Structure 1
Amino acid sequence: MDSLMDLTGKIALVTGAGQGVGRATALLFAQAGASVVVNDFHIDRAKAVADEIEAFGGVAMARQADITNLASVEAMTSEAIARFGRIDILVNNAGNAGPSDPNISPKPFWETSPEEWEPFIATNFNGVMNCCKAVLPSMTQHRGGRIITVISDAGRVGEPHLAAYSGAKAGAAGFMRAIAKAVGRFEITANCVALSTIRTPGVASMIDEDALGKILKSYVIRRLGEPSDAAGLILFLASGAAAWITGQTYPVNGGYAFSS
């Protein structure tokens, strides 16, 4: 692998890595030489991905944690640092509405309740803050690191039936910009990757052929994204090739919405 994209010796924590984009990122990081802490709310998923990594000779550690719970995240982070000594890369990938991920309400926002908003805010915004709080002491102590937060194009352009989700993702992007300014002096970067529809297990189960045809009319590249499409940019932002890039949001969206 090109030396700029080589992660040999790096320690990465990827949240929500039991499937989809998180799994693809964890596998790609391991192939690039990183040791990977594979997090998922469902430990069986995390262990399955860690087993995949170890099967090709990589180093992985599967850990369950609920990212909406700071104590849970700090316990996982402490275990990872106890084993590996530090955390160099954090990928905030866990998202949507958490492990339960209820169906999106078709109701207008003003007809929804705080109980319907809270899972989106807890996972997509509070979860990002919890993970950053847990890993930044290690990164600042070792004077270096990469934080990549996976958001959504809903957070960039807004979606009418995803108001709470859009707001939480936009909040995560704003938080990343603030963190980028706060920790740049420690050689730590903080960036976002904004995704449109990716063919994850959850998405695949919800979209039939008729719905897919309608969705793809909004995309310049007329296919759904694959987890590998996102993982490639995440690897770049985690690598030495992106050492002077921080506070940015990069869309991976097949042309769904352009970025100026």
Structure 2
Amino acid sequence: MHDLLDIKGRTALVTGAGQGVGRRVVLHLAEHGAGAVIVNDYRAERAEAVAAEVEALGVRAVPAACDVSDLGAVQTMVRQATESAGAPVDILVNNAGNAGPNPTEAMSRPFWEQRPDEWNGFLGTNLYGVLNTTHSTVGEMIDREYGRIVNVVSDAARFGEKGRESYSAAKAGAAGFTRSLAASAGRYGVTANCVSLAATRTPRTADRLEDEQLQAAIMKRYIIRRPGEPEDAANMILFLCSDAASWVTGQTFPVNGGYSFAL
């Protein structure tokens, strides 16, 4: 039977793929015909573990440890990983998020009590990380006149959430960048879209969402009163990576259980 979401042997790079949504995206791509998947995480052991899962599916996998906020490190990662994969990046999923590899308690203080070096973790991973990986891959996509770029953003940016100013700013910046990139690169066969998530069950959120009372309080703001699962996000991301979405670009798709609505 024809698989509408067949990736057709393309090579994909997924950032922040050592757990949670990123891991599930990697496995979705492998299960739908990817030729190779580059598994990025700032922790080498997590990237290697997910790469082993991909290899068990019979798909080439390249673990690639790197902090995406470091442009030089990203450029080296892309060069080495594509050499190992034997092909350039066709599909880029910028999933890496949160505050990067070195979060501190200061990042949870009110914004007006923070210093710039305390909010740079959010900007580095969620905005500069997107710029760095895209800058390191989109040129070859344009040369080949094919590319799929999906940036994972957050309803913290679309809706605005108290106490998440730096994170919201970074995600909103990534969404604006995506729209501009879509306008510039579309005539070269490169699409760029965002998937906007709300409360999704990942290792980072598991403790809060496993507390039944806390989960119930959080879910009161949701139309579908359950947390999102990595599969919910990965389903939309897979669609946008496939040729089924070849006429879709410059858009932000909320996968949020009805936390907020969009026209």
Q: Under TM normalisation by the shorter chain, which class is it? A: over 0.9
* Distance in 2 of aligned mates of 1:105 and 1:30: 36
2:84 is the counterpart of 1:45:
no
Please give the secondary structure, in 2, of the residue aligned with 1:87.
coil
Match of 1:54 in 2: 55
Pick from 202, 205, 209: which aligns with 1:200? Answer: 202
* Distance in 2 of aligned mates of 1:102 and 1:209: 27
Consecutive unaligned residues of structure 2, counting only runs of 5 or more, are none
* Distance in 2 of aligned mates of 1:101 and 1:221: 31
Please give the secondary structure, in 2, of the residue aligned with 1:189.
strand
Contact 2:94 2:151 (C-alpha < 8 Å) held by counterparts: yes
Contact 1:16 1:95 (C-alpha < 8 Å) held by counterparts: yes
Please give the secondary structure, in 2, of the residue aligned with 1:6.
coil
Contact 1:36 1:59 (C-alpha < 8 Å) held by counterparts: yes
Q: In the TM superposition, what whole-angstrom CA distance separates every residue of 1:68-99 from its partner, at most 9, and x where no partner exists?
A: 00111111111233232211000000011012
> In angstroms, what is the RMSD of aligned CA positions?
1.4
Pick from 160, 165, 184: which aligns with 2:186? Answer: 184
- Deviates further, 161-170 or 203-212: 203-212
Please give the secondary structure, in 2, of the residue aligned with 1:21.
helix
* Distance in 2 of aligned mates of 1:119 and 1:23: 22
Q: In the TM superposition, what whole-angstrom CA distance separates every residue of 1:89-113 from its partner, at most 9, and x where no partner exists?
A: 0000001101234458554322222
Q: Percent identity?
A: 51
2:236 is the counterpart of 1:233:
yes
Distance apart, 1:36 and its partner CA: 0.5
Consecutive unaligned residues of structure 1, counting only runs of 5 or more, are none
Letter in 2 for 1:216: M
Please give the secondary structure, in 1, of the residue aligned with 2:96.
coil
Match of 1:247 in 2: 250
Please give the secondary structure, in 1, of the residue aligned with 2:4.
helix
What are the equivalent positions in structure 2 for 1:91-102 lying under 5 Å apart? 91-102=93-104
* Distance in 2 of aligned mates of 1:227 and 1:82: 29
What are the equivalent positions in structure 2 for 1:97-176 lying under 5 Å apart? 97-103=99-105, 107-176=109-178
* Distance in 1 of aligned mates of 2:60 and 2:51: 8
Match of 1:5 in 2: 5
* Distance in 2 of aligned mates of 1:104 and 1:154: 19
Contact 2:66 2:73 (C-alpha < 8 Å) held by counterparts: yes
Contact 2:30 2:57 (C-alpha < 8 Å) held by counterparts: no
- Deviates further, 227-236 or 101-110: 101-110
Letter in 1 for 2:74: V
Match of 1:257 in 2: 260
Match of 2:37 in 1: 36
Q: In the TM superposition, what whole-angstrom CA distance separates every residue of 1:151-172 from its partner, at most 9, and x where no partner exists?
A: 0001111112001100100000
Contact 1:104 1:162 (C-alpha < 8 Å) held by counterparts: no
* Distance in 1 of aligned mates of 2:64 and 2:80: 9
Match of 2:17 in 1: 17
* Distance in 1 of aligned mates of 2:146 and 2:106: 39
Q: In the TM superposition, what whole-angstrom CA distance separates every residue of 1:131-174 from its partner, at most 9, and x where no partner exists?
A: 00000122111111000000000111111200110010000000
Letter in 1 for 2:10: K
TM-score (norm 2): 0.95
Contact 2:106 2:114 (C-alpha < 8 Å) held by counterparts: no
Pick from 222, 226, 249: which aligns with 1:223? Answer: 226
Pick from 212, 235, 243: which aligns with 1:209? Answer: 212
Please give the secondary structure, in 2, of the residue aligned with 1:97.
coil
TM-score (norm 1): 0.96
- Deviates further, 226-235 or 75-84: 75-84
Distance apart, 1:186 and its partner CA: 0.8
Distance apart, 1:62 and its partner CA: 0.6
